Amino acid sequence: MTACQYVPYIHSTEKGQEIPQNLEQLFEYGANFASEYKNAATETCASYAKLYQEGDWHSGWILALQVTEPNNSCVNSEQAIQILTTLEKQKKIYPELLWLTHVHLSWLKGLEKVNQLKHAYSLKQSQMSELKQERQDLVGKIDALKAIETSIDE
């Protein structure tokens, strides 16, 4: 992604800043989701996932963007990437939101890479701990053999 990219024109200078009606509807949709999620997270996640599976792209978009909430998301980053990529390919997202979708996809892919690196690091740490323990065991055995050798030599 480049720093300079096309951002759709969404307001008129004559009327001041004006939010298109379709974006207002999406904002309301997001506010409803947040309210419902606060009261019943599991049920809200299931409900919005079902709506998305039935073809309501708004619910998929909300679920995918909600993944940025730490420990409070309905989908993981891999699922969010899949949802946004699908919506982007199907050209269902409002043109005004396309740039945000691109930015969010880029961010999610970066997050996935970080998570993969964390997992690899954790595995290496675990392997290192095991190797340290093996080394200590071997040093103990070598010391025992040296003690036996010393007692034989005496």
Report the pLDDT value the prediction gives residue 143, as an integer from 0 to 100: 93
| Position 12 pLDDT exceeds 50 | no
Report the pLDDT value the prediction gives residue 93, as an integer from 0 to 100: 76
**Which class for 48: exposed (0-12), middle (13-18), buried (19 or more C-beta within 10 A)?**
buried
Average pLDDT for the chain: 84
Report the pLDDT value the prediction gives residue 46, as an integer from 0 to 100: 94
Q: Residue 5: pLDDT band by 50, 70, 90 thresholds?
A: low
Report the pLDDT value the prediction gives residue 6, as an integer from 0 to 100: 53
Helix residue ranges, H only, the chain:
21-39, 41-53, 57-65, 77-89, 95-153
Give percent of the chain with pLDDT exceeding 70. 86
Mean of pLDDT values over 1-10: 52
Q: Take residue 61 and report the two structure tokens written for it.
A: 């978009």
